[in-house]
Structure 1
């Protein structure tokens, strides 16, 4: 997943920490989750959502081709 995260970063995405809630309580002091901020609409997405959006934005090129 780290390699794919690097691919998103190279496409202009940014990584941002997001607060975590458990039963309505903010447990950010204990754990934070990672979100990817879109260069298109500046909203935070999970890793899988970010990969999906990037594939939709560039359907003619495969992000995974950069792994070879």
Structure 2
């Protein structure tokens, strides 16, 4: 799944899950790729939306673990 596809799928209407919950749940479907500017900010917002603390460390850990790169 590409970054654009992930954002589009997370934005679909859903009566049970929020945008942030859908984005985080679908994150493992995202293949290694160069992410666009602003991807880190989107991830921070999604993690905040699910109540995560220490978001900076989580975003960094997720990017490193999945070998994603932001350009």
Q: TM-score, normalised by structure 1?
A: 0.29
Richer in strand (by share): 1
Richer in helix (by share): 2
Q: TM-score, normalised by structure 2?
A: 0.28
Query: Which structure has the larger Rg?
Result: 1
